[in-house]
Structure 1
Amino acid sequence: MIALGLVLNTIGIGLFCWAIFALAVYALPFFVALSIGMTAFQSGASLIGALLIATAGGALTLVLGQVAVAIARSLALRIAIATAFAIPAAVAGYHVVFAVSQIGVSSLAWREVFACLGAVCIGVTSWTRLIVLAETRPFEPGRVVESPS
């Protein structure tokens, strides 16, 4: 019974870590959706209306960010857009790792170290996922690039 508990705990922690890294790209759209939804609700929209507006705002943020990275020709612009998505992911990663580290780490200094490492890892993962999705294009304007059949 103890062995089954250890195996299930290990699987649960692994799934939790996978979810953190998989959802890191969506931190900025979630923050935007939350802000828009709270603003709409406080300005008199109903709960359903605020949820619909928040969902639309978050989805629009994600789509616009991915499209902007995909069509941007300048590497500096791509990096800036991906960084705008990675910073909220790093902040969210910091807080998640700091909260989880309170379970097993008693020293505040070590919790801060783990939280900073988690922020860097999750921010870099988010940045990489957004940059990798962008297809590189040739720099010569006006040329048609033919794909081999």
Structure 2
Amino acid sequence: MIILGPPLIILVIGLFCWLVFMLAASALPVFVGMTIAMLGFHTGAGLLGGVAIGLVAGGLTFGVARLALALAPWAWVQLLIILLYVAPATVAGYSVTYGIALMAVPSPIWQTIFAVVGAIAVSITAFIRFTGMAAPDLPGNGSVH
């Protein structure tokens, strides 16, 4: 049993980091969903109702991004929409990485360096994810018809 402990701990830490990284890359829909879920719970919808309306709100936020990207007539409008969703992901990536670095790194300078690297990584991931949702064949996107 002692042999299984360290690999399982590494696996769980890796799974936790992956989950946090994925949630940070979709920070705006997760934030909206969690806020609406807490609001629903505190206004009397109960736990199940709060979770249900939180999931709907988060899904709608994600759906609005997809719809806005699909209907944006110009590439610069799509870029603004993407940046609207990437900015909270950058802040979330910095915060998550800084929190992890606080537990693992004693030097404040290196904590900040790791946090900035984490913010950049989450920003790039979120940017790539949302750029992939942009419809490439719309007029004004640089495509030839």
- 2:66 and 2:76 map into 1 onto residues whose CA distance is 15
1:133 aligns with 2:119: no
The alpha-carbon deviation at position 54 of structure 1 amounts to 0.9
Structure 1 residues 46-57: aligned runs within 5 Å: 46-57=46-57
Deviations 1:25-71 (A, max 9, x none): 32111100111122222223222211111111111111111121123
The residue type equivalent to 1:116 in the other structure is V
The residue type equivalent to 1:104 in the other structure is A
- 2:38 and 2:2 map into 1 onto residues whose CA distance is 45
Structure 1 residues 113-128: aligned runs within 5 Å: 113-128=113-128
- 1:27 and 1:40 map into 2 onto residues whose CA distance is 20
Contact 1:24 1:123 in 2 (8 A): no
- 2:27 and 2:111 map into 1 onto residues whose CA distance is 22
RMSD: 2.5
CA shift in 2, pair 1:83/1:46, >3 Å: same
Name the TM-score, length of structure 1 as normaliser.
Answer: 0.77
Q: Percent identity?
A: 36
Q: Which has the larger radius of gyration?
A: 1
- 1:122 and 1:111 map into 2 onto residues whose CA distance is 16
Name the TM-score, length of structure 2 as normaliser.
Answer: 0.79
Q: What secondary structure is seen at the aligned counterpart in 1 of 2:26? A: helix
- 1:5 and 1:48 map into 2 onto residues whose CA distance is 35
CA shift in 2, pair 1:121/1:133, >3 Å: same
- 1:51 and 1:90 map into 2 onto residues whose CA distance is 26
Q: What secondary structure is seen at the aligned counterpart in 2 of 1:45? A: helix
Contact 1:24 1:125 in 2 (8 A): no
Q: 1:98 aligns to what?
A: 98
| Equivalences, count | 141
Deviations 1:60-103 (A, max 9, x none): 11111112112312112111111121122112111111111123
Structure 1 residues 1-149: aligned runs within 5 Å: 14-139=14-139
Contact 2:25 2:122 in 1 (8 A): no
The gaps in structure 1 that reach 5 residues or longer are none
- 1:2 and 1:101 map into 2 onto residues whose CA distance is 27
- 1:113 and 1:53 map into 2 onto residues whose CA distance is 38
